Amino acid sequence: MKKYNFKTRSAQAMTEVVLLFPIFMIIMFMTAKIFSILILIQKMEIASYYAARRWQLESHLHVQYAQGWDENYLKKDIKDKVSEYLGFNHAGLRKFLNLKPNGLELEVQRTQVWNIVTIRVHTAPAGLGLLCKYPKQAVCTRPPYGAACDSGYDYVCAGGKVLEVVKYVPNRDRPIAFVLPGLQ
């Protein structure tokens, strides 16, 4: 078995690691924070499907139940489940996804044919100070960027954004047996 003499080895790789590792870590954290918005949007789509489908199957058409049970229990329970799924109840996930505490809104609008289920999530700024060094007017001046650049800059540097997902679900009318008018 051969012994290694550590004093004779050169330390060139150590210098490169010491200099490049922090830069790599900064790029990795910035990428993860930007990637978190994609995760949040996917989670919102899944949660909105759950909320809309559950509202469609469990809500009532009768006014007595619609104002009582639907608004007081069903809507609150759906909001609690969606909040849990999106990560509002978990501090680490809430920080990673930039969610504001109590930043979830669930709105259901009843119409004659459709129920419109809307989920709104209020986000905090992403907190990437390195990307916010220059003002928005300097960053978003080129014509091809436009409103998308303004919106992205607001999400990353300013006060966050409000993300919204809307689902349309039909009323759950129970089918009535078809009877020809002259055969009664």
What would the pLDDT profile of 63-81 be if each residue is shown by its tens digit? Answer: 667 677 888 888 999 999 9
d(CA 120, CA 111): 20
Task: Give the bridge partners for 169, in sequence order.
Answer: 115
What integer is the mean pLDDT of 42-52?
A: 95
Vertex 117 angle, CA 150 and 77, to 5°: 115
**117-158 pLDDT tens trace:** 999 999 988 777 777 788 877 778 777 777 777 777 777 777
Closest CA to 83 of 121, 140, 29: 121
pLDDT of residue 44 exceeding 90, the answer is yes
Half-sphere exposure in the Cβ direction for 114 (13 Å, CA):
8
Per-residue model confidence (pLDDT) at position 19: 80
Buried b (16+ CB within 10 A) or exposed e, 120-151: ebbbbbbeeeebbeeeeeebbeeeeeeeeeee
Where do the structural domains in the chain lie, given as residue ranges? 12-173
Q: Is the pTM of this model over 0.75?
A: no
